Structure formats: C-alpha cells, structure tokens
Amino acid sequence: MSTQINYAAEAATQYIEVNGNNYAYRQFGKKSGIPVIGFQHFTGTLDNWDPIILNGLAAEREVIIFDNTGVGNSSGETPNKVADMTHEAVAFIKALGISQFDVLGFSLGGFIAQYLVQDYPDLVRKLIIVGAAPQGSKVLEEFPQLIGKAMQKTPIERFLFIFFTPSEVSRSKGMATLQRLYARTVDRDQEANEKAIMAQMKAITEWGTDPVTIDLASIKHPVLIIQGSDDEMMDSDNSYLLFKQLPNAVLSYYPDSAHGSFYQYPELFVNQASDFLNNF
C-alpha cells in the first residue's frame, strides 16, 4: 500500500451546479470504464470516507465521492425522503456525464443504493451495500432514540458508540479510523448542518415505516452486502434478510464489529470489494 497515491488526502474538492444547487465532489483514481460512486451515511461528508478504502479502490478504478443536496459543502435543501435523495443524486451524476457506475452505499447510502437500482437499473452496474437494511425494517423506528443517546456522548465516544462495538479491540480500531478520517488537513468539508441532519433523520426513520415499494427479488444486478456482527442501528440480521431477497448477492459479515464494519476491516473490505467489482 505504501506506493499507492494518497488520493484521499490529495484529491481537490470540485463543484458542479445542477438544478440550482452547487454539489461538492471529489473524483480520482485510475481511469477505468466504470467509476464507483460513494453514497454516504447519516451526517457523513466527503471527509467521512476511510482513506484506506478510497485509496485501495482508486488503485484499480475511478472513485467519485460527493455531498448530496444540502450536506457538507453542497448547497440546497436536503430532502427528507430516500427516494428524493436518490433522484437528486442521479441528476448530479448525470451532470458529470456518467452513464453507468458502480455503487458503494454506506448506511443511508445503502438505502439510496436500493432505490437507485430499482428506479435507474440501466445506470447501475454493481452495488456494494455496507451497514444497511431493507425498506420496512422495523428497527429503524428506534433510530431517533439511538441518535439521541449518541448525542449525549463526547464526539469521540459518539463515533465509537455508533460505528464500533464496546470491545477493546473494536474501540482501538475505531480510534485508528478516527485518525485516518482526520489525516486530511487541507480543503476539508463542512460538517452537516442541523437542517440536513433533521431531514436525513426523517428519511432514515421512515425507511422503517414506509410501505415497501422496492421489489428486491426483481433486482438482477450483482450486489455485495457487508455488515458487522453487532450493528445495533440496522440490526445485523437485516443484512441476511436483504441477502435472502436479492437473487444475485454475496453477503459478508465481519466479526466483533458494528455499524462501521468496513472501517474496522478496511483492507479486508478493499480486497473483497475490488475482487467483486473486477470479477464477480
């Protein structure tokens, strides 16, 4: 890894105006046919992607990360529905001139991934879904309470509480992840503001209560599902249920890990994701 280019630290933030909103994004990596586009978690911005993962994926393909409407350095009003977030992301992606891409959807981004492939099947080649759940997963009704509990903690403890397990090993991996997320010192993104956070919270909670409109059984695209053994937010069992409904999915669980499974095992994830995108 030492000879890899540190795209995560060096890629400049770029902007493009779409439908009156200014979208912040970073585009980097080895030029290849199909880029992989990252869809970020609740409150996450350009700076919440793990550099090991960005650099690992970018060694073999073009990677694009972006702030969706109203998040981080992107302007506009954050929608409070996953479907609308999906449509606005597609407008941004099309504005970049991209006609087909692979999806890396983390948490909320994994919900958008499911909408994307149903509503825009020709735009998507393959999907990677990390730490997510199918539409209608009851556990998400408890999401506001879980976040409320998290908000009472210090920022570091909040990060560990959400993304890692209480074990010493997992917490130490969490601290290492935090260091990686703050390794980039220039041109950092703004944190999500309260308005964006409230809209996202509504969208995530309603993912659990909305009527199921996504027919997972009809999705023929290759999917790689990644989850931790102990994701309280999504309930880890939900990834198995997602796998069972999708006809062409590979599912992997990582040990002693929570919502941030791929933060905890970034090299394992890069190996799996790259092999999946290259060869599956």
Which residue from 277, 39, 50 is spatially nearest to 183, judged by alpha carbons? 50
Can you tell me the distance from the alpha carbon of 80 to that of 104, in angstroms, rounded to the nearest whole number? 21
How many residues in the shown chain lie near a copy of itself by CB under 8 A?
22
Q: Using CA atoms, how far apart are residues 91 and 97, in angstroms rounded to an integer?
A: 10
Among 17, 141, 157, 267, binds a copy of itself (CB under 8 A): 267
- 191 near a copy of itself, rule: CB under 8 A: no
**Contact between 279 and a copy of itself (CB under 8 A)?**
yes
Regarding 15 and contact with a copy of itself (CB under 8 A), the answer is no
CB under 8 A: which stretch of 12-20, 71-79, 189-197, 269-277 binds a copy of itself?
Answer: 269-277
Q: Which stretch, 23-31, 170-178, 192-200, 241-249, contacts a copy of itself (CB under 8 A)?
A: 241-249
According to CB under 8 A, which one of 32, 84, 149, 253 is a site residue for a copy of itself? Answer: 253
- How far apart (Å, rounded) are the C-alpha atoms in residues 131 and 260? 7
Q: How far apart are CA 123 and CA 143, in angstroms?
A: 30
Measured in whole angstroms, the distance separating CA 213 from the mean position of its chain's CA atoms is 21
Cα 89 from Cα 96, distance rounded (Å): 11
Residue 136 interacts with a copy of itself (CB under 8 A)? no
Which of 124, 249, 273, 277 touches a copy of itself by CB under 8 A? 249
CB of 127 to a copy of itself, least distance (A): 13
Minimum Å distance from CB 238 to a copy of itself?
Answer: 12
Q: Which CB sits closer to a copy of itself, 65 or 223?
A: 223
Which lies closer to a copy of itself via its Cβ, residue 84 or residue 253? 253
**Residue type at 131?**
G
254 binds a copy of itself (CB under 8 A): yes
**Cβ–Cβ < 8 Å for 137, 116:** no
| CA distance linking residue 146 with residue 30, whole number of Å | 39
List binders of a copy of itself among 27-66 (CB under 8 A). Answer: none
263 is an interface residue for a copy of itself by CB under 8 A: no
Residue whose tokens read 């993304």: 163
Which helix (H) or strand (E) segment holds residue 85: the answer is: helix 82-95
Q: Which listed residue (49, 106, 243, 263) binds a copy of itself by CB under 8 A?
A: 243
- Are 241 and 134 contacting, i.e. CB atoms less than 8 angstroms apart? yes
CB-CB neighbours of 156 under 10 Å: 11
Contact residues: a copy of itself, CB under 8 A: 229, 240, 243-244, 246-256, 267-268, 271-272, 275, 279-280
